[in-house]
């Protein structure tokens, strides 16, 4: 039997598996308070995913707020969209704007390296697409355990093939990234993915559901049981013995579907058929419906029975939580619906009206004609718990810093020195990366002006004027381990320099903050130091942070990774013909060393 | 010399984009009512006698290399 | 100025790049949609690179059955110049306009690099302006570029001068006889794995050798009475 | 609903670099004396009754689409 709102109101004392869904008791109580009754199992599903660390930023929110102090001015003008949108949008001059963002897909990539990395790329690409932009390039900062460790032989090739398999198939040039090895990433590789997209100023689209009577359309792949391990707990309550099949916690990507989704969505934008749009990533329909509805001026009514399913045994809780890839949700004015569906049909993309925007401010979801969700969407999407996690500078950091490189033995002969230089040059962290980067297409789209092995990637945006952008991502986690404040600023400065040396002017920043457990005060201290450092650094450089991502709980058997605040810097160049490559070009040129 | 067959198929609950694409193509070609899932078939020639121990080795190889057991299921059988 | 059609299949990626290359060569690029049944009177057709239908099943296998391919096959048999690049080459093999097939790279990874080639035959519509034996550099990027054919076919290709390009230095994918591109007996249909459309502009290309493909086509078109 | 299996294997005279690579990988993992050829397996669910005519259709589909007969051989059989 389905747990309806009416039933929930009548049965306040039913035991609910909030703990197994990752909620704390106080969080569950807060949900009851908000609703004035116990949640239905569907509502519990929605709150539990949306209030997870991953979706709600409950441990990092108080720190991330500081990025807001930086304002919205770049050296080239105001941001058109900043933190809080799916991705920041930077005015780069002419009629052009650029949107870029970096995200992590660390844990899934350990479980299933190929698919984890592939769907990581897919997710960030949809974020960029949802801003109304055409995705034009990707980058992939990667981190692994020791190259010679046995499991690295499983993890690394899979992740690299996954990044390439998805990005290459989408036709997005890979213009840079990182490959770093450190023992603390063993059992917890970092897969960060950056996507950049381009749009005209007028094409900017923000995620909200506006206008009573407007239709809510779900399009892209059909919904399956992907990534809903947790929700099966709920489903098992509504199903009997021969109930739902085993649900995979692994999502499988379909880059071909995503390519169709990109072309189809851009055609929908071009014909102005979209009033509001959101991609479906983590938390799937729970996220898309509650975020679209709470950002708009009305409510939303959704009929879950209309959601096209790949697996017909799915329970409503599971449909709401499914993380099936390659799906998007749009709000469309009624008179545009036919044309919308026509364009989707042209691209062979499944599209279904699943609901509409309503008067009032409730998100109501029905299943088999009964109401299973009746919530204020803002309480799901934005009013999750916020924690002031304790943080403290750890004692061990002094000892760590005291153990300097000066304590190491020095080479005593020329031969020894030569051997050391060779060993360094051949070490996995410093050696030529083409064994990895040659698996990525850097030429597709024909606008890659600089790519591997250059310090920064550069893409031509405007073929007439030569207007272009440059991008670099960097982080040395060992520095951040010694001193998270300075380490984060070094990451910022390195990426900033890597953009500057191409000839582009650095204008804006995105970041992916990969850390250990937020419940460990020393990790929280590392995190807060890194955020303050980036705020101070960006203030000094005059560049806003446009958005990013936090990944916590990166640890193996209780050992946290070294703090890894990856910074991506975007630069603008008026004419890509003026770019500067990193090689020496003319014999006889003078060589200068800048700085001390 | 004996021959062992290892069939590797995507697990039923896992998305099978290949099968989906093939199913769609068959329909467009006018073959109706056919739904396809696509997997892999390995023909393994085993040197020497096919003892139980040898067969277990093939099973281990399938588990370790031929199939990705996170998303695929496999089946090992001796060819008649 | 000629009109050169560029086909877009679902999943084509380098279609816009091929169109740009056509324009840079001074011609009109005509976008041809896979679901249409007309070639719009173009003078030549390019099947571009990419992952048509996700490269599911086999590269090019599903695209081969799209409506536009029925037209392309018919026109090619009557002598229309057709160039298949990477995925386009795979489509041409699946369509049996070219012999052999392309399978997964022997290194089992995608390979992207600036690849040296030797032009083995200038007796085709697309290579007439090269010097015999000329060494060129063309962008290569694929996961399934290993050319295979049965021994008889291979012998025939070699004997009848149908091998058009051969990999130099290092065979990137295990292609038999280092074959990078082949032609049909008539020389109007050419397929190759490397991407000449990415070798048109100094700013974005390792060489400008792609331009000679178009110079060759122009020479051919100028010679045929229209 | 009946299930028909279509096995597609590279023809023996055609080089199978994939199978060779797998064979090599198995050796490196310590599995000796195993030689592998890699092909594809399709599970085709046929709607309705599996008449001879229906089975012929599957055969036609295999010949036309599922296999590339230039380099591959195929085998169609009804699952027991
Ligand atoms: N995972 C990756 N994806 C794409 N490009 C990468 C990746 N790792 C490294 N690169 C590229 O390879 C080149 C060399 O990288 P790296 O050795 O880290 O350079 P540096 O030490 O100068 O920062 C750079 O152009 C970088 O962007």
The CA distance from B50 to B58, in Å, is 10
Find the mean pLDDT for residues C200-208.
96
Smallest CA-to-CA distance from A523 within A487, A489, A561 is with: A561
- Please tell me if the CB atom of residue A142 comes closer than 6 angstroms to any atom of ligand 1: yes
Q: Which domain holds residue C156?
A: 3-223
Length of chain A counted residue by residue = 596
pLDDT digits (tens, 9 = 90+) for A111-148: 999 999 999 999 999 999 999 999 999 999 999 999 99
CB C142 within 8 A of CB C157: no
Q: Is A138 helix (H, G, I), strand (E, B) or coil?
A: strand
- The label of the residue with tokens 């041409």 reads C92
The 3-state DSSP composition of chain B as helix, strand, coil percent (nearest 5) reads 35, 35, 30
Task: Check contact A-B (3+ Cβ pairs < 8 Å).
Answer: yes
Q: What percent of chain A stands above pLDDT 70?
A: 95
Cβ neighbours around A562 below 10 Å, total? 26
State the distance from the centre of ligand 1 to the C-alpha of A32, rounded, in angstroms: 50
For residue A463, the chain C residues in CB contact (below 8 A) are 20
DSSP single-letter state for residue C223: H
- How many CB pairs (< 8 A) connect B and C? 23
What residue of A is the nearest CA neighbor of B11? A248
H or E stretch at C71: helix C67-77
What average pLDDT does this structure show over C28-39? 96
Q: What does the pLDDT read at residue B15?
A: 87
A174 lines ligand 1 (CB under 6 A): yes
Whether A136 and A96 have beta carbons less than 8 Å apart is answered as no
Torsion angles phi and psi, residue A327, rounded to 5? -125, 150
Tell me: pLDDT of A245 over 50: no
B13: nearest CB among A246, A256, A257: A246
Average the pLDDT over D52-79 and give the result: 95
Separation in Å, CA of B29 to nearest CA in chain A: 16
For residue A235, pLDDT beyond 60: no
Lookup result for tokens 């010949």: D63
Residue A217 CA to residue A300 CA, distance in Å, equals 12
> How many whole angstroms separate alpha carbon C3 and alpha carbon C19?
11
pLDDT, mean of residues A179-185:
97
Q: Which of A7, A63, A105, A335 is catalytic?
A: A105
Over its C-alpha atoms, chain A yields an Rg (Å, rounded) of 24
Whether C112 sits among the annotated catalytic residues: the reply is no
Predicted confidence at residue A171, as pLDDT, reads 97
Distance CA A256, CA A397 (A): 48
Three-class SS of residue C64?
helix
Lookup: tokens for C220: 């051919």
Ligand 1 geometric centre to CA of A426 (Å): 15
What gap in Å lies between CA A29 and CA A35, rounded to an integer?
10
**C147 contacts D14 by C-beta, under 8 angstroms:** no
Q: Could you give the 3-state DSSP secondary structure of residue B34?
A: strand
- Two structure tokens written together for A389: 């996690």
Q: Is B38 helix (H, G, I), strand (E, B) or coil?
A: strand
pLDDT surpassing 70 at residue D24: yes
For ligand 1, the distance from its centroid to the CA atom of residue A583, given in whole angstroms, is 15
CA-based torsion, A243, A245, A250, A255: positive or negative: negative
| CB burial string A91-116: b at 16+ within 10 A, e below | bbeeebbbbbbbbbbbebbbebbbbb
Mutation test of ligand 1: which of A174, A177, A473 has the most ligand atoms closer than 8 Å to its C-beta? A177
Q: Do D65 and B22 touch (CB under 8 A)?
A: yes
Structure token pair of residue A256: 């071909």
pLDDT digits (tens, 9 = 90+) for B66-76: 999 988 999 99
Contact yes or no for A164 and C110 at CB 8 A: yes
In the predicted structure, residue A243 carries a pLDDT above the cut 60:
no
The count of C-alpha atoms lying within 13 angstroms of the C-alpha of C77, restricted to the half-sphere facing its C-beta, is 8
Residue nearest to atom 10 of ligand 1 (CA): A177
Q: Does D24 touch chain C (CB under 8 A)?
A: no
Name which of C65, C101, C106 is nearest D70 (Cβ-Cβ). C101
Q: Residue A332 — pLDDT band, cuts 50, 70, 90?
A: very high
Token output for A300: 């939303």
How much is the pLDDT for A405? 87
Task: Select from C75, C85, C95, C115 the least CA-distant residue to C12.
Answer: C85
Query: Chain B partners of A112 at a C-beta cutoff of 8 Å?
Result: 68, 70-71
Catalytic residue (one of C86, C93, C94, C198): C86
Ligand 1: does its nearest atom lie under 6 Å from the Cβ of A437?
Answer: yes
Which CATH number do you get for residue D21? 3.30.1280.10
Can you point out the beta strands (E) in A238-307?
276-279, 299-303
Q: Which of A163, A433, A440 to mutate to test the pocket of ligand 1 (most atoms within 8 A of CB)?
A: A433
Confidence band of A208 (pLDDT split at 50, 70, 90): low
Instruction: Note whether A touches D: 3 CB pairs or more under 8 A.
Output: no
pLDDT of res. A86: 74
Query: Residue A585's pLDDT is what?
Result: 84
pLDDT value for A447: 98
Are residues C74 and C33 in contact, defined by beta-carbon separation less than 8 angstroms? no
What is the phi/psi pair of residue B59, to 5°? Answer: -60, -40
- Of A189, D44, A422, C82, nearest in space to B23 by CA: D44
The answer to whether A441 contacts chain B (CB < 8 Å) is no
| Chain B contact present for C35, CB below 8 A | no
Report the number of secondary-structure helices (H) and strands (E) in chain B.
2, 3
Which pLDDT band holds residue C86 (cuts at 50, 70, 90)? very high
Asked if the Cβ–Cβ distance from A440 to C204 is below 8 Å, we say no
- Residues β-bridged to residue A134: A198
User: A206 exposed, middle or buried (CB, 10 Å; 0-12, 13-18, 19+)?
Assistant: middle
CA distance B18 to B23: 9
Q: Could you give phi then psi for residue A268, rounded to 5 degrees?
A: -65, -45
Q: Other CB atoms closer than 10 Å to residue A335's CB: what's the count?
A: 8
Q: What is the pTM of this model?
A: 0.94
Predicted confidence at residue A587, as pLDDT, reads 92
Please check whether residue A348 is in contact with residue A258, taking contact to mean a CB–CB distance below 8 angstroms. Answer: no
Q: Do residues A325 and A119 lie in contact, with contact meaning Cβ atoms separated by under 8 Å? A: yes
Give the Cα-Cα-Cα angle D43, D15, B66 (nearest 5 degrees). Answer: 45
- Chain A positions touching B25 (Cβ under 8 A) are none
- The verdict on B64 touching C (C-beta cutoff 8 Å) is no
Cβ-defined contact of C56 to B28 (cutoff 8 Å): no
For chains A and C, what is the number of CB pairs under 8 angstroms?
83
Give the CATH number, domain containing residue C199. 3.40.50.880
Q: Rounded to the nearest whole angstrom, what is the distance from the C-alpha of residue A332 to the centroid of ligand 1?
A: 42
Question: Which residues on C lie below 8 Å from B17 (Cβ)?
Answer: 54, 56
Measured CA to CA, the distance from residue A511 to residue A547 in angstroms comes to 7
Q: Beta strand pairing status for C189-192 and C82-85?
A: parallel
CB A130 within 8 A of CB A229: no
Residues C74-89, mean pLDDT to the nearest whole number: 98
Q: How many residues does chain D have?
A: 80
* C23 interface with D at CB cutoff 8 Å: no
Instruction: Residue window 164-223, chain C: list those with CB within 8 Å of chain A.
Output: 195, 197-198, 201, 203-204
Distance A489 CA to ligand 1 centre (A): 20
Query: CA-to-CA distance for D58 and D68, rounded, in angstroms?
Result: 15
DSSP state of A445: T
Averaged pLDDT score across all residues of chain A: 92
Q: Report, as an integer, the average pLDDT of D35-40.
A: 94
CB contact under 8 A, B36 and D58: no
Q: How far is the CA of A510 from the centre of ligand 1 (A)?
A: 18
Pick the residue from chain A with its C-alpha nearest to C21.
A446
CB nearest to B15's CB, from A247, A310, A348 = A310
Q: Which of A476-485, A587-596, C193-202, D61-70 has the lowest mean pLDDT?
A: A587-596
* A163, A255 Cβ separation under 8 angstroms: no
Subunits adjacent to chain B (3 or more Cβ pairs under 8 Å): A, C, D
Residue A238's pLDDT band (boundaries 50, 70, 90)? very low
Q: Is A335 a catalytic residue?
A: no
C53, C56, C64, best to mutate vs chain B, most B CBs in 10 Å: C56
Q: Nearest Cα to C174, choosing from C136, C145, C143, C139?
A: C145
Average pLDDT score, chain D:
92
In chain B, which residue's Cα lies nearest the Cα of C57?
B18
Higher pLDDT, A526 or D20: A526
In whole angstroms, give the CA distance from residue A499 to residue A100.
Answer: 15
Q: Output the tens digit of pLDDT for each of chain B's 80 residues.
A: 899 999 999 998 888 999 999 999 999 999 999 999 999 999 999 998 889 999 999 999 999 999 999 889 999 999 87
Q: Mean pLDDT over residues A230-243, rounded?
A: 44
Which residues have a Cβ under 8 Å from the Cβ of D42 and sit 6 or more positions away?
A: B22, B36, B37, B38, B39, D5, D6, D7, D8, D62, D66
Mean pLDDT within C138-156: 96
For residue A354, the Cα-to-chain-centroid distance in whole angstroms is 26
Is C197 annotated as catalytic?
A: yes
What are the pLDDT digits (tens) for A312-322?
889 999 999 99
Nearest-10 crossing angle of helices C211-223, C15-24: 60
Backbone φ, ψ for residue B37 (5° rounding): -115, 140
- Cα–Cα distances (Å) from B68 to A234, A494, C98, in that order, read 29, 39, 35
Q: What's the total number of domains in chain C? A: 1
Axis crossing angle, helix A152-170 with helix A113-129, rounded to the nearest 10: 30
Q: Write out the residue range of the structural domain in which residue D42 sits.
A: 2-78
More confident residue, D80 or A327: A327
- pLDDT computed for residue A236 by the predictor: 45
Element (H, E) at A74: strand A73-74
A452 lines ligand 1 (CB under 6 A): yes
CA angle C220, C8, A352 (to 5 degrees): 170
CB of A85 closer than 6 angstroms to any ligand 1 atom: no
Catalytic residue, chosen from C71, C197, C198, C218, is C197
Q: Above 70 in pLDDT, residue A231?
A: no
* Residues 6+ positions from C186 with CB-CB distance below 8 Å: C79
Total count of domains within chain B:
1
- E strands in D1-80: 2-10, 34-46, 72-78
Q: What is the pLDDT of residues A550-577, one digit of tens each?
A: 999 999 998 999 999 999 999 999 999 9
Give distance in angstroms: CA of A464 to centre of ligand 1. 30
- C216 pLDDT more than 80: yes
C-beta atoms of D13 and C151 within 8 A: yes
CA distance C68 to chain A (A): 15
Neighbours of D64 (CB within 10 A): 15
Q: Which of residues 112-151 of A touch B (CB under 8 A)?
A: 112, 114-115
pLDDT of residue A237: 43
Res. A233: pLDDT tops 70 = no
Question: CA-CA distance, A102 to C24, in Å (whole number)?
Answer: 35
Question: Residue A255: closest CA among chain C residues belongs to which residue?
Answer: C54
SS3 A381: helix
| Helix and strand numbers, DSSP H then E, in chain D | 2, 3
Joined together, the tokens standing for residue A415 give 């031969």
pLDDT of residue A207: 62
- The C-alpha atoms of residue C209 and residue C200 are separated, in whole angstroms, by 7
- Region A70-78: mean pLDDT is 88
Measured CA to CA, the distance from residue A70 to residue A67 in angstroms comes to 6
Q: Which residue of D has its CA nearest to B24?
A: D65
Question: Given this model, what pLDDT does residue D73 score?
Answer: 96
Q: What is the rounded CA–CA span in Å between residue C129 and residue C213? A: 7
Q: Please, where are the H alpha helices in A255-364?
A: 255-270, 284-295, 316-321, 337-346
Contacts of D45 in chain B (CB under 8 A): 34-36
């Amino acid at each position: 039997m389905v747990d309806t709102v009416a039933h929930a109101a009548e049965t306040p004392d039913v035991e609910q598996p909030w703990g197994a869904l990752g909620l704390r008791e106080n969080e569950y109580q807060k949900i009851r308070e908000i609703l004035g009754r116990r949640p239905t199992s569907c509502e519990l599903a929605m709150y539990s995913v949306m209030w997870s660390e991953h979706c709600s930023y409950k441990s990092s929110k108080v720190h991330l707020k500081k990025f807001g102090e930086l304002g919205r001015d770049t050296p080239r003008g105001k941001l058109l969209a900043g933190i809080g949108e799916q991705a920041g949008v930077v005015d780069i001059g002419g009629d052009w704007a650029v949107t870029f963002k970096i995200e992590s897909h660390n844990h899934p990539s350990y479980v299933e390296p190929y698919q984890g990395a592939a769907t990581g790329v897919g997710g960030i690409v949809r974020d960029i697409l949802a801003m109304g932009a055409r995705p034009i390039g990707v980058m992939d900062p990667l981190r692994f355990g020791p190259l010679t460790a046995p499991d690295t032989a499983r993890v690394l090739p899979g992740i690299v093939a996954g990044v390439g398999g998805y990005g290459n198939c989408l036709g997005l040039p890979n213009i840079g990234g990182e490959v770093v090895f450190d023992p603390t990433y063993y059992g917890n590789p970092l897969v960060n993915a950056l996507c950049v997209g381009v749009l005209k100023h007028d094409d900017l689209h923000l995620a909200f559901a506006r206008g009573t009577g407007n239709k809510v359309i779900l399009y892209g792949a059909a919904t399956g049981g992907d990534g809903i391990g947790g929700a099966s707990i709920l489903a098992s309550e509504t199903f009997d013995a021969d109930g739902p099949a085993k649900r995979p916690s692994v999502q499988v990507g379909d880059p071909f579907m995503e390519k169709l989704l990109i072309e189809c969505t851009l055609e929908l934008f071009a014909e102005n058929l979209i009033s509001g749009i959101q991609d479906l990533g983590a938390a799937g329909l729970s996220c898309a419906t509650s975020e679209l509805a709470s950002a708009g001026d009305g409510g939303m009514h959704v009929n879950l029975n209309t959601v096209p399913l790949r697996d017909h045994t799915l329970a409503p809780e599971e449909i709401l939580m499914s993380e099936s890839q390659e799906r998007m949700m749009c709000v469309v004015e009624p008179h545009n619906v036919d044309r919308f569906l026509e364009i989707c049909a042209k691209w062979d993309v499944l599209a279904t009206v699943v609901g509409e925007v309503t008067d009032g401010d409730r998100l109501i979801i029905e299943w088999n004609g009964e109401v299973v969700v009746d919530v204020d969407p803002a309480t799901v999407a934005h009013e999750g718990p916020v924690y002031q996690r304790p943080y403290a500078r750890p004692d061990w950091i002094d000892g760590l810093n005291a153990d300097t490189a000066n304590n190491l033995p020095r080479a005593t002969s020329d031969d020894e020195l030569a051997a050391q230089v060779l060993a360094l040059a051949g070490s996995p962290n410093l050696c030529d990366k083409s064994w990895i980067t040659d698996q990525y297409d850097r030429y597709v789209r024909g606008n890659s002006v600089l790519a591997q092995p250059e310090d920064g990637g550069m893409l031509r945006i405007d073929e007439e004027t030569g207007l272009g952008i440059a991008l670099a991502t960097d982080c040395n986690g060992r520095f951040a381990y010694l001193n998270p404040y300075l380490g984060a600023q070094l990451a910022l400065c390195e990426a900033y320099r890597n953009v500057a040396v191409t000839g582009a002017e650095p204008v804006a920043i995105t970041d992916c903050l990969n850390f250990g457990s937020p419940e460990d005060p020393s990790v929280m201290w590392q995190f807060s130091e890194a955020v303050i450092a980036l705020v101070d650094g960006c203030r000094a450089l005059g560049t806003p942070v446009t958005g990013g991502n936090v990944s916590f709980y990166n640890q193996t058997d209780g050992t946290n990774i070294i703090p890894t605040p990856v910074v991506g810097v975007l630069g603008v160049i008026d004419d890509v013909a003026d770019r500067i490559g990193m090689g020496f070009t003319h014999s006889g040129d003078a060589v200068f060393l800048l700085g001390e | 010399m004996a021959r062992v067959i290892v069939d590797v198929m995507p697990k039923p609950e896992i998305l099978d984009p290949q099968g989906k694409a093939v199913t769609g193509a068959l329909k467009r070609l006018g073959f109706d009512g056919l739904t396809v899932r696509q997997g892999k078939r390995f023909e393994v020639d085993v040197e020497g006698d096919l003892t139980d121990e040898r067969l277990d080795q093939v099973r281990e190889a399938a588990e370790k290399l031929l199939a990705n057991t996170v998303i695929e299921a496999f089946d090992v059988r001796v060819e008649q | 100025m000629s009109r050169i059609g560029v086909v877009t299949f679902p999943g084509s990626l380098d279609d816009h790049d091929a169109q740009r290359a056509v324009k840079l060569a001074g011609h009109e690029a005509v976008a041809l949609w896979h679901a249409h049944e007309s070639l719009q009177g173009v003078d030549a057709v390019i099947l571009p690179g990419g992952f048509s239908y996700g490269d599911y099943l086999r590269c090019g296998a599903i695209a081969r059955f799209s409506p536009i391919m029925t037209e392309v096959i018919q026109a090619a048999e009557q002598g229309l110049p057709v160039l298949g690049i990477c995925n386009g080459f795979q489509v041409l093999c699946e369509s049996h306009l070219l012999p052999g097939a392309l399978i997964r790279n022997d290194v089992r990874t995608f390979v992207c690099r600036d690849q040296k080639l030797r032009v083995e035959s200038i007796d085709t519509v697309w290579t007439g302006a090269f010097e015999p034996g000329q060494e060129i550099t063309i962008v290569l990027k694929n996961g399934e570029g290993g050319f295979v054919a049965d021994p008889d076919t291979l012998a025939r290709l070699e004997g009848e001068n149908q091998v058009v390009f051969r990999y130099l230095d290092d065979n990137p994918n295990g292609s038999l006889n280092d074959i990078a591109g082949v032609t049909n007996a008539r020389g109007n249909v050419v397929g190759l794995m490397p991407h000449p459309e990415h070798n048109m502009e100094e700013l974005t290309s390792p060489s400008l050798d792609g331009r000679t493909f178009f110079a060759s086509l122009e020479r051919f078109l100028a010679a045929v009475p229209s």
